[in-house]
Structure 1
Amino acid sequence: MYYYRLGNIPPKRHTQFRQPDGSLYKEELVSSEGFSGIYSTLYHIYPPTRIKQLKDPVPYGPKKIDDYALRHTHLNTSNVGTTGDDYLDARKTLFMNNDCKISICSPRKRSMDYFYKNAEGDEVLFVHDGKGTLISPFGKLEIRQGDYVVIPRTVIYRLEFEEGPLRLLIIESASPVETVKRYRNQLGQLLEHSPYCERDIRPPHELVTDATRGEFLMKIKKQGYLHQYIYDYSPLDLVGWDGFLWPYAFSIHDFEPITGRIHQPPPVHQTFQGHNFVICSFVPRLFDYHPQAIPAPYNHSNIDSDEVLYYAEGNFMSRRGIERGSFTLHPGGLPHGPHPGTVEKSIGAKETHELAVMVDTFHPLYLTEDSLEFVDHNYPMSWTDNNTGGYHEVNTP
């Protein structure tokens, strides 16, 4: 990230900064890796440590399946409507391990009547359908279809969406979610050959300073529970902040694809990194231009990674039977590749209009109990020539 500031701050940190009535603003340092990582300094009207009531925690979290067989898996979530009442109830975690969780979320309610803080993981929201605003102490952040919204752990926020279709893909990370290290120079600046730059990253743009007193519910996720805190002031009581740690949005439509004379491997599509996993973006692009090029991907054996693809839009030439909003899991230990007939069909194609998000993990993923209702049991046999199984190319609605 880069340095950013909003609102009013004193000329020097850890010095007196007084309110109009003469009392001090309350300074808060939000830092990662103790005092060694990125951080921001926040200035509150009220002490961030003061609470009014502590309610009982509520169990919260997915249940993994330990005995799911080794097999290629298609989760057909294309026609899923609302997945729950509000933002937290509506999360259906489909895949998980100790490094990350992958969920879908389509809440009936378009706004949250509480604040939320994930105290144990960074979150990446991919807005497949919808438009709205993320509101946090760092300010307002407008979000729209195609955005990745990166929310560092412990950031307090609530979401307000406009009416209409709403579908979120949520990737929760036990480690910091970062821009890709090989895209950055020694100062952290994104390099010239990076597929995106700082201009594409959208920070909060409008500070919301709310000095209201009352009862404000905050749900804090940690260690399998939602811990419920009641505050007598709004968490949006900041008058200013500065630093490197803040929520931001980056649109998948601003990712500039890297192409070549022959088929390029998935790392050229990498967008973010976490510990033991990566997030990649497949976007519309020109195909390979070698005269003998084969645009369809080659067969691949994952030795030490599991591959999840979330299909957002477009025509996926190498895969049949996949709909908009489907997931595929191709686990380590099995070869995967294009479906029969798709390789020859791809030859001569000049471009693709596909849009997909890929999560590659370097430790095995587990399916969850919530995933079982979506399993397509025919998918492992879909590479057999005489088994069409209804598989067909996906088309954008």
Structure 2
Amino acid sequence: MSSEFDELEYLSGFGNEFATADKRVPDALPVGQNSPQVCPNGLYAEQLSGTAFTAPRLTNKRSWFYRIRPSVVHRPFKKFEKKNWTNDFAGIEPNPNQYRWNPFPLPETGGVDFVEGLYTVCGGGDVISRNGISIHVYSCNESMQNKAMYNGDGDFLIVPQQGELEITTEFGRILVGIQEIVVIPQGVRFSVGVRGVSRGYVLEVFGTHFVLPDLGPIGANGLANARDFQTPVAWFEDLDVPFAIINKYQGSWFQAEQDHSPFDVVGWHGNYVPFKYDLRRFQVINTVSFDHCDPSIFTVLTAPSLKPGTAVADFVIFPPRWGCADHTFRPPYYHRNCMSEYMGLITGVYEAKEGGFKPGGGSLHPMMTPHGPDFACFEKCSQESLQPVRVAENTMSFMFESSLNMVITPWAIHEHVDTGYYKDWLSLKKHFKLPNQQKK
């Protein structure tokens, strides 16, 4: 594919203003006003708003497009049914058990694109009232041809696990590799191309947007730095061919037809944009004395709720790092949490569960259900010498964490499940002895 997929500029902050025009039409952006009476080069002006018009300036999100045709030029949407997908979690039977899924299968035959390969695992909240979360996986082997989609309900955070993604958006083109992520905000039209069989994870949030977490006592530097986020340079195609526009709206799927490509934005400016991030650029904060910092120190992005300090969803990673703490059991501690935790593995071996947790699979630990290292990990790490050691070398795992209760979809409750997951803890032994029973 064209090297234009690699053309990116630095995104220097989530509240700043950015402006790019396609290099073939450098004068496409008006000067001094948002929407002139007549746009340069006969273009149309169109605004995409990601927040209410009256949202505070700090959180107000919108971008202006200067495009060949406005996006309103299409035929009516018609509903279609999509298998193994839902945003409706009402009425699904709850299940408090720890769950683990084997790697989700790759397509065995041709002709499965990103939209067709989406599969809902779990979720919570409500897409209609716009307070919720869905977790999906995708598995595909074909690029979207003359087809684009947009999520009318919320943001997609996409985590490739196998296969690079060539994503064309209204803002430009983005190449997303392994150990990178991309966020496609609500309403942005995009098309996914693949270079072979591809698989990954998708975190969807309703009614909020992903932002960088506050740093507090960490200070100005650390975790994910704003300068390392990237957004595409404007790129357009003036293509008059039949095109399908897929709209996910209120959890259902619709399709409209139009006679031209939606990727006809010649220039744009604003702060409501898709962006990508390389997880290997994350600045790890870790203990070097004793005990554990909470896993919130590994937060890359957060989708805040209305309750201060509590997220609809956090995106957390566990990258390679040094373990240096004294007098401390270094793997994750046994834990019960008022958050729901879904974990996935991009590559490598997760240190707390080296057996059944595989790249391309996942696990869900429901709210207040206990979890922690398996038997082998506990025994090994309770006895090893506490020397500085590299943790998670050549590994990248992640967690989607939410303050919402989540349920597992009726198909994911049975498909690809590791039914013996609970056995990881059954071998944990009783080591307790009264003082007079201790060996002298």
TM-score with structure 1 setting the length: 0.87
Once the two structures are TM-superposed, the CA of residue 50 in structure 1 deviates from its matched residue by 2.3
Of residues 401, 425, 436 in structure 2, which corresponds to 1:383?
A: 425
- Measured against aligned partners, the alpha-carbon deviations of 1:140-161 in whole angstroms (never above 9, x if no partner) come to 1121111110000100010112
- Measured against aligned partners, the alpha-carbon deviations of 1:279-320 in whole angstroms (never above 9, x if no partner) come to 101100001x23323211211111x21111112223323224
Q: Which amino acid in 2 is paired with 1:356?
A: S
Once the two structures are TM-superposed, the CA of residue 68 in structure 1 deviates from its matched residue by 4.4
Q: Which amino acid in 2 is paired with 1:6?
A: T
Where does residue 251 of structure 2 map in the other structure?
Answer: 224
- Measured against aligned partners, the alpha-carbon deviations of 1:301-357 in whole angstroms (never above 9, x if no partner) come to 11x211111122233232242222221111123222212242342243611123111
Question: 8 Å contact 1:305–1:363 — kept in the other structure?
Answer: yes
Distance 2:62 2:259 in 1: 26
Question: 8 Å contact 2:146–2:261 — kept in the other structure?
Answer: no
Once the two structures are TM-superposed, the CA of residue 272 in structure 1 deviates from its matched residue by 1.1
SS of the residue aligned with 1:356?
strand
Where does residue 245 of structure 1 map in the other structure?
Answer: 272
Question: 8 Å contact 1:87–1:112 — kept in the other structure?
Answer: no
Of residues 64, 71, 81 in structure 1, which corresponds to 2:106?
A: 81
Where does residue 273 of structure 1 map in the other structure?
Answer: 302
Matching of residue 202 in structure 1 with residue 225 in structure 2: no
* C-alpha RMSD over aligned residues: 2.4
Once the two structures are TM-superposed, the CA of residue 139 in structure 1 deviates from its matched residue by 0.8
CA 1:55/1:334 → structure 2, altered by over 3 Å: closer, same or farther?
Answer: closer
Q: Which amino acid in 1 is paired with 2:409?
A: T
Counterparts of 1:171-320 in structure 2, within 5 Å, are 171-183=203-215, 192-205=220-233, 207-261=234-288, 262=290, 263-274=292-303, 275=305, 276-287=312-323, 289-302=324-337, 304-319=338-353, 320=355
Question: 8 Å contact 2:158–2:183 — kept in the other structure?
Answer: yes
**Count of residues in correspondence between the two structures:** 374
Where does residue 202 of structure 2 map in the other structure?
Answer: 170
CA 1:140/1:69 → structure 2, altered by over 3 Å: closer, same or farther?
Answer: closer
Distance 1:197 1:343 in 2: 34
Matching of residue 135 in structure 1 with residue 135 in structure 2: no
Once the two structures are TM-superposed, the CA of residue 238 in structure 1 deviates from its matched residue by 1.5
Question: 8 Å contact 1:43–1:240 — kept in the other structure?
Answer: yes
Q: Which amino acid in 2 is paired with 1:56?
A: K
Distance 1:251 1:184 in 2: 23
Matching of residue 369 in structure 1 with residue 398 in structure 2: no
Distance 1:115 1:344 in 2: 51
Question: 8 Å contact 1:123–1:171 — kept in the other structure?
Answer: yes
Distance 2:69 2:143 in 1: 29
CA 1:146/1:341 → structure 2, altered by over 3 Å: closer, same or farther?
Answer: closer
CA 1:16/1:184 → structure 2, altered by over 3 Å: closer, same or farther?
Answer: farther
Where does residue 177 of structure 2 map in the other structure?
Answer: 144
Distance 1:292 1:199 in 2: 37
Of residues 342, 351, 365 in structure 1, which corresponds to 2:390?
A: 351
- Measured against aligned partners, the alpha-carbon deviations of 1:154-181 in whole angstroms (never above 9, x if no partner) come to 0001011223x41121111113332333
SS of the residue aligned with 2:422?
helix
Q: Which amino acid in 1 is paired with 2:424?
A: S
Q: Which amino acid in 2 is paired with 1:385?
A: S
Distance 2:39 2:349 in 1: 58
Once the two structures are TM-superposed, the CA of residue 184 in structure 1 deviates from its matched residue by 8.9
Distance 2:79 2:415 in 1: 29
TM-score with structure 2 setting the length: 0.79
Deviates most, 289-298 or 81-90: 81-90
Q: Which amino acid in 1 is paired with 2:171?
A: F
Once the two structures are TM-superposed, the CA of residue 182 in structure 1 deviates from its matched residue by 0.6
Where does residue 390 of structure 1 map in the other structure?
Answer: none
Gaps of 5+ in 1: 388-397
